[in-house]
Chain A
Amino acid sequence: MSSKNLWTRLIKGLLHNSDDDTANRYRILRRNIFILMILITIIPLTIMAVIYQHEYQSSIKKEIVIPLQTLTNKTKHTFELFFEERLSVIRFIAASYSFEELSDQKNLNRIFEALMDEYCCLVDLGLINKKGIQLSYSGPYEFLGKNYSKQSWFQEVIVKGNYISDVFMGYRQFPHVAIAVLRRIEGGRYLILRSTIDTSKFDDIIASMELDQESDAFLINRDGIIQTSSRFYGKVLDKYPVPFPRGNYGPIVVEETDPQNRKMLIAYAPLTTRSDYIMVLAKQRSALLKPWYTLRSKMLFAFAISVVTIILVVFKLTDTVVKRVKDADEKRELTYREFQHTHKLSSIGRLAAGVAHEINNPMAIINEKAGLMKDLVAYDNQFQKKEKFLGLIDSILKSVERCSAITHRLLGFARRMEVQLVELDLNELIQETLSFLDKEALYRNIELILHLTDNLPRISSDRGQMQQVFLNIINNAFAAVEDEGRITITSWEEDSDTVGVSIQDNGIGMSEEILKSIFDPFFSTKQENGTGLGLAITYGIAKKMGGDIKVKSKQGEGTIFTVYLPKKAKIGSGE
């Protein structure tokens, strides 16, 4: 079976069920159309909505991630610059002054004062010698003579030349950062300059990011200790509670759920300035995705509205369609029944007329014989039981008269079924007749092929009787073919006076013997289903209209009925 065929069957199966329970049939038809229409409308809509959501979600994520990275990176640079600036000025002082000048307390005070004017946030400045002893100190604390040689930063600055500490709480419980630089002097000697920075400037840098309520920016060190106060995750020196990526990397953005169970987008950017600091920028995902959520809810709303509208429209539409189908079916059913009724009446009429005509002749004979008897008796004066016989004969004649009245009435009834000539388009009539049978054709998958000649001349004939002719023959063709059989109907102009219509089927065909009798009354091959009158009547009508019917048939191959009809019916006695 070809795929086209398969489709047709599928659709047919969906729209028609062979179950003939009428109420049920329309219910199922309604349900099937409804499901079909809902599927073909809602599935594409849903697919579109899903694709759109996916695309939009990924694009909006990009739109969120990139600014986040940029801002983090920018702030990171500001921090780097801040540290770099302070380191370089300390480095500059270390390079510009000699050990002796720096170890002089007065000198150092003067330098520190000048330094404070130019650079903010420096808390103190001190010189430390090779042994880790504070030789001079300018600042608010009493650090003079303090020995740093055991502290880890001292070792680090000797190795690396630079040092920036983690944030620590100074003596006054303010967070501080210490920076130190080392300068080598000739003869293997060196000097170390150490300064403390007040981290209040850090907050200014972070404030310059102009973050909203749902955002948080701060520094942590590589051990996860918070270096500047955080809005979400605690004070300075608290442990940062969210897992973060280790190692060296450019600014990256990760999604994390924090201990407060908020979904966060967090950007990390490690500072490159000889330090262990990582710039952290955390934003609540819900805030970032607000436009997305707004759009999504709008879309969901639009989707829901669409679906509801579709369902309502489809429901209404299905209802209308099914009602129309039902109306059309009922109308056709009614027409067919009316037609059947007329058919029956006209069959009875024709039968009655036949009977009346046939009975007339014997009646006439009885009438004459009885009349003669009466004459003979009447003229014979010697006849003994004359009165008795005349009475009997009169009663016979009266009965004959009664029979005549009956036949008269029968013929009167038959006359009402008489021919009414109208102009007919045979092609139209054939199609009309087929409409009675197209349902059966559909159920049984019978292929109907019409070769109806265009511009077929109109004929003058009786519509009802012509319909009967074609319905009878086509009905027979339907009975003859198997399911999925083929019936071909062809019309043509035979000659200037006649049109022809052939009805060909590829059914079981007929034997020669059957073929001889098919137009005889009461001959039927349909056993209990047939009256044996159908084709006899059909033939009678065709003849009556001045036409003819020819049949050719071969067993197992099919049958072809050809009906010839005059353009102008010549009404004859027919039978």
Chain B
Amino acid sequence: MKNLKILLVDDEEEFVTTLAERLELRGLQARTALNGEDALHMIEAETPRIVILDVMMPGLGGFEVLRRIKAQHPQIPVILLTGRGSEKEGVKGMELGAFDYLMKPLNIEELIKKMQEAIKSQP
């Protein structure tokens, strides 16, 4: 798990930077993107090991970003973040190829556990 390259995508800067810092405290390498377009560029520049992607974003929405990632890099696992009470969106995301979904506000231990599962499931 150490030195795992993670890409965090969420339009809430406060959220995403804080989360990145917390992950780094746990020895993980987390980069952040504040919108779908940036995220896709960053993936092209340096392929992350895993992507944590918020569903609700202005501009390019989470599902669209997911679709493009899966089209270009089907091997990258994507964990979606949805609002509480939006289980439907999570399910929809999984149909589009997401590994799993988590609801905000997050429990960081749960996130790390999910990421481990995702990487383990990779061949």
Whether chain B is bound by chain A comes out as yes
Chain A interface residues (CB < 8 Å from chain B): 356-357, 360-361, 363-369, 371-372, 375-376, 379, 400-401, 404, 407-408, 410-412, 414-415, 573
B14→A363 contact, CB < 8 A: no
Interface centre among A372, A376, A379, A407 (most CB of B within 10 A): A372
Q: Chain B residue with minimal CB distance to A407?
A: B84
Taking residues whose C-beta sits less than 8 angstroms from the other chain, chain B's interface range is: 10 to 19
A415→B85 contact, CB < 8 A: yes
B84→A411 contact, CB < 8 A: yes
Q: Which residues of A contact B86 (CB under 8 A)?
A: 411
Tell me if B21 is interfacial: C-beta within 8 Å of chain A: yes
Given A364-B104, A365-B12, A365-B18: A375 in contact with B25 (beta carbons within 8 A): yes
Q: Chain B residue with minimal CB distance to A415?
A: B85
Q: Which residues of A contact B106 (CB under 8 A)?
A: 364, 367-368
Chain A contact residues, majority secondary structure: helix
A361→B104 contact, CB < 8 A: yes
Q: Chain B residue with minimal CB distance to A360?
A: B83
Q: Which residues of B contact A366 (CB under 8 A)?
A: 105
Q: Chain B residue with minimal CB distance to A401?
A: B105
A408 and B105 CA atoms in complex are apart in Å by 11
Q: List 5 A-B contacts (CB under 8 A).
A: A357-B56, A360-B105, A365-B12, A376-B25, A404-B105
Q: Which residues of B contact A357 (CB under 8 A)?
A: 56, 83
B108→A360 contact, CB < 8 A: no
Given A364-B105, A367-B106: A408 in contact with B18 (beta carbons within 8 A): no
Q: Nearest-CB distance from B87 to chain A (Å)?
A: 9
A368→B84 contact, CB < 8 A: no
Q: Chain A residue with minimal CB distance to B61?
A: A573
Q: Which residues of A contact B18 (CB under 8 A)?
A: 365, 368-369, 371-372
Which 10 A-B residue pairings sit nearest by Cβ, starting from the closest?
A: A411-B85, A367-B105, A368-B18, A364-B104, A360-B83, A364-B105, A408-B84, A365-B14, A408-B85, A365-B15
Interface centre among A360, A369, A411 (most CB of B within 10 A): A360
Q: Nearest-CB distance from A38 to chain B (Å)?
A: 65
Tell me if B22 is interfacial: C-beta within 8 Å of chain A: yes
Tell me if B19 is interfacial: C-beta within 8 Å of chain A: yes
Q: Which residues of B contact A415 (CB under 8 A)?
A: 85
A369→B85 contact, CB < 8 A: no
A573 and B85 CA atoms in complex are apart in Å by 14
Identify A404's interface contact among B56, B84, B108, CB under 8 A: B84
Given A372-B22, A375-B25, A379-B25: A364 in contact with B15 (beta carbons within 8 A): yes
Q: Chain B residue with minimal CB distance to A361?
A: B12
Interface residues of B in 84-123 (CB under 8 A from A): 84-86, 103-106, 108
Q: Which residues of B contact A376 (CB under 8 A)?
A: 25
Q: Which residues of B contact A356 (CB under 8 A)?
A: 83-85
B85→A368 contact, CB < 8 A: no
A368→B22 contact, CB < 8 A: yes
